[in-house]
Amino acid sequence: MLGGVLALEILLAACYAGVLYYSASQSINLNAQKAVEQSQGVFDLLVQNDAKMLGAAMDSFATNAAVSQIYTEHQDRQALIAAVQDIYRSNKSRYGITHMYFIDKNGTCFLRAHSTGLFGDAIDRETFLRARASGQEASGIELGKTAFALRRVMPYLHNGNVVGYLEFGEEIDHFDRLMKKQTGIDVAVLVEKNFLNEDDYRGALKAKNQIDNWDAMKDYVMVSSTMNDLKTAASVTSGAEVHSVKTPTYLGTVANGSSTFARGAFPLKDSAGKQVGVVLALSDVTDQIHSQRSAMLYLILITVVISVLSFIGALLYLRAAIINPLVLLAQQANDISMGNVDKKLETQRQDEIGLLIHAFERMRLSLKKSLSMLTKRAEQG
């Protein structure tokens, strides 16, 4: 019986430990989901604020009559370069602007202030096409050869007439660091390979003396990350998981070496609203997992110790209060059966054991009286 009680106590402890483990796991899951949603909120806010910054810089630049006159004449590209270089450098230093274009109305690039030797190609990016179609400013994130850029395009006016289009842009790889600073969470930007040209991607990385990571993942390329070890960031997720992400999604925990990460992701869409990748959010929950496991082990250990001690205590109590009195009563009952009816059975107990002893005492007295009467009759006969 006591063994059954002990087993029940251990079973209850195991059930409680299971509930504790489930509760702790749900807490980690909930916090990870909130972290993903928070990361997306910070990302969207960064896009909005920087788009406004680009717009303010463009509005200021658009009032430069000398530059607009040179561009309108459309004859001296070198004069335009000389006129805008200081302005471009100033905007790059103050606002982080990395791209500046003069685009003709037919979509031909007349000048890249950030790369003056490259011109004459057709611009067909979504932001430009929207600005040309609507006659209004348009902005959005667009994917280049190796990275994303936030672009803003506006009609360029001279004397009230549209003479072309002005585009300012900035690469957004610094968003990763800002997101981590705001949330404390590591992030990695993954792009589907079918939106990139492999040769262009590899060539651009080589030109920048960066590590070629095209083969690190099957279907995606990690274009930026706040993690020092890009292999770690790539190894904690799979293309199938990432491909299923359409909303901010918690992807579970995964162990990588001695560390455990809670993973989540939210979709990354370009200016056309097309999903071209995801932003992966990685929270190091190693300490939380260790604390959770330690708490469970301590709980189980304490429960086992308490159960064993209670079992020993109950056993000692039963031995002193029930087993020993019953053994003594059995010995006395054996003596009575052998004819020894002179030893009085005494007890102060009023419980069931006491009632049993009193009953045996009455039986002893009755037997003693009967034996005495039989002895007298035998003597008289």
The model's pLDDT over 116-158, given as tens digits with 9 standing for 90+, comes to 999 999 999 999 999 999 999 999 999 887 889 999 999 999 8
Confidence of residue 342 (pLDDT cuts 50, 70, 90): confident
Residue-wise DSSP of 84-110: HHHHHHHHHHHH---EEEEE-TTSBEE
Judged by average pLDDT, the poorest of 35-39, 42-46, 174-178, 229-233 is 229-233
Tens digit of each residue's pLDDT (9 = 90 or more) over 16-71: 667 766 776 777 788 888 888 999 999 999 999 999 999 999 888 888 888 999 99
Helix (H) or strand (E) holding 168: strand 161-171
No. of helices (H) and no. of strands (E), the chain: 11, 10
The pTM of this model reads 0.72
Q: What CA–CA distances, in Å, run from 309 to 17, 230, 304, 320? A: 20, 52, 8, 16
Across the range 158-184, mean pLDDT stands at: 91
CA distance 171 to 180: 17
Residue 177 backbone phi and psi in degrees, to 5: -65, -40
Quote the pLDDT of residue 2.
53
Quote the pLDDT of residue 3.
59
